[in-house]
Structure 1
Amino acid sequence: MNIRLLVADAHAAAVAGVKSFLAGTQIEVVAEAGDGQRAVELAIQVQPDVALVAVRLPKLDGLSTLARIKQARPEMPVVMTACHRHPAELAQAHSLGARGFLIKDFSPERLVATICRVAEGGETWTREEIRRVTGVLASARPAANADFLLTRRESDVLQHVVRGQTNRQIADELGISYETVKEHVQHIVRKIGVNDRTQAAVWAVRSGLV
């Protein structure tokens, strides 16, 4: 069975690496996107069998891209890729319907096996990934109705925390100071009754705020 693949990654070298790994296999890269918006468009226009989507994408981040693809084509398997396993990103990817999560040091064999598995209707989440997600979820005990206590700016900051961005990155994107972001994060953690920013991010995912 031939499998038609969409690859969404901001780095041309990463896309080239995937294509090299898949050369001579039953998997064909039929669409390439350098940003999230284009990935969603191609998922609809080209109708690939599977999508491989990087968490870090310009214009529309990878997790938002995943959400939009699943809205447009809920039956199409999507596998996320990233350089690190951020617990909040794992939790959100899982909740949004991703079939797996690959760290970018994967081998050709792992890549092929993952794509084939999800194309057949399976999932490739490892026990360790599920353990990390459920562990963070279990440890987060948010205050009741905490979402109504957050200011608009705090909600904006929380959206970026969920994406795994640092305070410096959030400050740059929102056009505010590093210290202001740090203060917002402290307020968010206190208001929703969790211990740290990771638990705050997972709470946001579980609460459906992102």
Structure 2
Amino acid sequence: MKTWNVMLVDHDRLFSAALATLIAGGPFHVGTHALSADDALEDIAAGAAPDVIVLALQDGLAEEIAGIKRLRAATQARIVVLADTIADRSLSLSLKAGADAYLNKSMSSESLLRSLQLVMLGEVVYPTHVASLLMAASNERPTPQPVAAAVSNGDLSKREVQILRCLLAGQSNKAIARNLHITESTVKMHFKNVMRKINAQNRTQAAVWAIQNGLSPLITA
């Protein structure tokens, strides 16, 4: 069975020890423990070669996001962020900084191991209820940019933007078709075009792209 080398980054040694014990129950081996992103960078420079870095997010968000960026520039390892709570801003900033997953510390051990395995298979992973949290946090956001500016790099049509916003709201193809008053086959066609334009392999990656580019969930057309 293939095993992956894990580096844990957290100032809480007790939590890290418990996490290491948990992770060891799957196809993962915890080889290094670092107290901060800077310590992790020193370990990497000294020869540590993790397959995945599990970084616990603390209170100093700006400093830690900068640390994720430095780690992303220094290694090809997959980066998984563990947070005490799932917050819109820290989720978006973590993904933009180069994280491959954003997970809640309170998730079950089975879900954590499954998420880590998905990350190692190339998936971008974040909680399924993020869309509803984004909606709940919408009143705290600064005035959003015009959609055209947010998605200009992907060259998406107005309808394709609507499709992505419905996706963020957790809607199925059938629900999207009903909301936008189009057929389900038309929804599938638009999804195919969107995936090609933004270079996404699945709906999860498309949703992450939408979050990173400033789109918000759409309940009704």
TM-score for the superposition, normalised by structure 2: 0.56
Change in 2 beyond 3 A, CA 1:54/1:137: farther
SS in 1 for 2:129: helix
Aligned to 1:102: 103
SS in 2 for 1:62: helix
Is the 8 Å Cα contact of residues 8 and 39 (structure 1) preserved in structure 2? yes
Q: CA RMSD in A?
A: 3.1
Instruction: Give the C-alpha shift of residue 128 in structure 1.
Output: 2.5
Between structure 1 and structure 2, the one with the greater Rg is 2
Aligned to 2:89: 88
Aligned to 1:41: 42
Change in 2 beyond 3 A, CA 1:83/1:38: same
2-side partners of 1:24 and 1:133: how far apart?
A: 33
Quick one: which of 64, 68, 71 aligns to 2:73?
71
| Gap runs ≥5 in structure 2 | 146-211, 215-221
Quick one: which of 140, 143, 158 aligns to 2:142?
140
Supply the AA of the counterpart residue of 1:17.
A
* Mean Cα deviation higher: 134-143 or 64-73: 134-143
Aligned to 1:172: none
1-side partners of 2:59 and 2:3: how far apart?
A: 27
Find out whether 1:32 has 2:33 as its counterpart: yes
SS in 2 for 1:31: strand
1-side partners of 2:94 and 2:139: how far apart?
A: 14
SS in 2 for 1:102: strand
Is the 8 Å Cα contact of residues 9 and 34 (structure 1) preserved in structure 2? yes
1-side partners of 2:59 and 2:21: how far apart?
A: 21
Q: Aligned pair count?
A: 145
Residue-by-residue CA offset, 1:30-85 (whole Å, 9 max, x unaligned) = 11011221022234431100010011278x94322211111112x32111012112
1-side partners of 2:139 and 2:50: how far apart?
A: 33
Is the 8 Å Cα contact of residues 53 and 77 (structure 2) preserved in structure 1? yes
2-side partners of 1:128 and 1:43: how far apart?
A: 34
Aligned to 2:206: none
Change in 2 beyond 3 A, CA 1:94/1:16: same
Is the 8 Å Cα contact of residues 56 and 83 (structure 2) preserved in structure 1? yes
Residue-by-residue CA offset, 1:114-143 (whole Å, 9 max, x unaligned) = 211111111212342255458749953269
Higher RCO by CA contacts (8 Å cutoff, separation 6 or greater): 1
2-side partners of 1:99 and 1:132: how far apart?
A: 19
1-side partners of 2:44 and 2:138: how far apart?
A: 32
Is the 8 Å Cα contact of residues 10 and 57 (structure 1) preserved in structure 2? no
Change in 2 beyond 3 A, CA 1:33/1:83: same
Find out whether 1:53 has 2:55 as its counterpart: yes
Aligned to 1:62: 64
Is the 8 Å Cα contact of residues 24 and 30 (structure 2) preserved in structure 1? no
